[in-house]
């Protein structure tokens, strides 16, 4: 009996040694959620400088407007801001409509959901409930923002991508190295990023099927390491000095985003960026769904989140 033939659903691993060529990004229209600060803001600036028309979506209206005005003035670019709560479908739908209505091409080519929350360690969540009382429901805010918001964003991206399927489309999902190494304690954040990874696994195969109606869609995932952003900044001294984790800069992730967007040979890949590292995680059958490459990163000391000085992936104070 012959074994069934293997149908690949990814392109070969990403080659980070080649030079970046961003000319293909000029004139593209992009929507980024959570883009008034942090990784989203850094990516928005880079895309605008590369010639994209970028819609910045953020819950923080004042901060978003100020960021767009500052970026337009400093870099002589045109951007759009749309205030939205990613956990509210009507709110996010309005932001997508604003992105399409405001850009010169009246289309959408690139969507990246950056909006996210760090959550809290399980010890902090349990400490809120007296041991003698019935437990209250845990907060679902982190899961709502980190996964429900991403699911809504993906749904809307696929819908509006289908309005101009003849042009190249890019959906980049943002997970985390923590979705691969599974540290103890951070249940809400890790679970939400694992869910994003599961969405990616399903979508990268679905996007190659004719019934989706998007023959030019590329779907990839980026799993950042520990990066200095407003979301993590307050904990960085403890994570870096006490735990010994490697802390990268937003540019470490932005460079990975630009490579994935500009290289049309990259599809269905999961890549990671952090301090002194940009690597394809080989999150597929051949790569043992990321475990092989994560082991290499751990052994080389290049995995941003661990192992720590005080214990393997110990992130609990």
Instruction: Note if 193 is an active site residue.
Output: yes
Of the residues 28, 160, 169, 193, only one is catalytic, namely 193
Residue ranges with strand state E in the chain: 29-33, 53-58, 79-83, 110-113, 169-174, 217-222, 270-274, 277-280
Count of CB atoms situated within 10 Å of the CB of 132 = 5
Q: Is 189 a catalytic residue?
A: yes
Euclidean distance between CA atoms 316 and 2, whole angstroms: 50
Give me 276's structure tokens.
Answer: 């002194």
Alpha-carbon gap, residue 64 to 82, rounded angstroms = 8
b (16+ CB within 10 A) / e for 43-78: bbbbbbbbebbbbbbbbeeebbeebbeebeeeeebe
Q: Strands across the sheet with 79-83, in order? A: 79-83, 53-58, 29-33, 110-113, 169-174, 217-222, 270-274, 277-280
Active-site pick, 152, 160, 180, 189: 189
Say which residue the tokens 């910045």 belong to. Answer: 56
Half-sphere exposure of 94 (CA within 13 A, CB side): 13
36 within 8 A of 65, measured Cβ to Cβ: no
Kindly list the catalytic residues.
189, 193
């Amino acid at each position: 009996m012959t074994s069934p033939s293997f149908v690949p659903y990814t392109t070969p691993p990403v080659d980070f040694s080649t030079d970046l060529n961003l000319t293909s990004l000029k004139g593209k229209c992009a929507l980024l959620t959570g883009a008034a600060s942090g990784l989203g803001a850094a990516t928005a600036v880079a895309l605008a400088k590369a010639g994209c028309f970028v819609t910045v979506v953020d819950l923080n209206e004042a901060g978003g407007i100020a960021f767009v005005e500052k970026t337009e003035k400093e870099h002589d670019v045109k951007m759009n801001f749309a205030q939205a709560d990613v956990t509210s479908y009507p709110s996010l739908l309005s932001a997508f409509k604003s992105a399409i209505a405001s850009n010169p091409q009246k289309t959408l080519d690139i969507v990246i959901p950056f909006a996210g929350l760090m959550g809290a360690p399980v010890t902090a969540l349990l400490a809120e409930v007296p041991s003698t009382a019935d437990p209250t429901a845990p907060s679902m805010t982190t899961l709502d923002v980190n996964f429900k918001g991403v699911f809504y964003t993906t749904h809307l991206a696929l819908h509006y991508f289908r309005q101009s399927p003849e042009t190249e489309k890019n959906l980049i999902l943002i997970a985390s190295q923590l979705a691969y190494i599974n540290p103890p304690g951070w249940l809400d954040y890790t679970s939400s990023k694992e869910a994003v990874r599961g969405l990616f696994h399903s979508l990268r195969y679905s996007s190659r099927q004719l019934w989706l109606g998007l023959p030019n869609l590329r779907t990839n995932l980026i799993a950042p390491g520990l990066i200095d952003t407003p979301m993590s900044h307050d904990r960085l001294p403890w994570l870096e000095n006490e735990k010994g984790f490697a802390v990268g800069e937003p540019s470490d992730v932005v460079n990975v985003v630009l490579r994935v967007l500009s290289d049309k040979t990259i599809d269905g890949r999961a890549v990671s960026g952090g301090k002194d590292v940009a690597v394809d995680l080989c999150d597929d059958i051949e790569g043992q769904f990321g475990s092989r490459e994560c082991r290499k990163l751990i052994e080389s000391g290049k995995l941003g989140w661990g192992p720590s000085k005080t214990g393997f992936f110990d992130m609990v104070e």
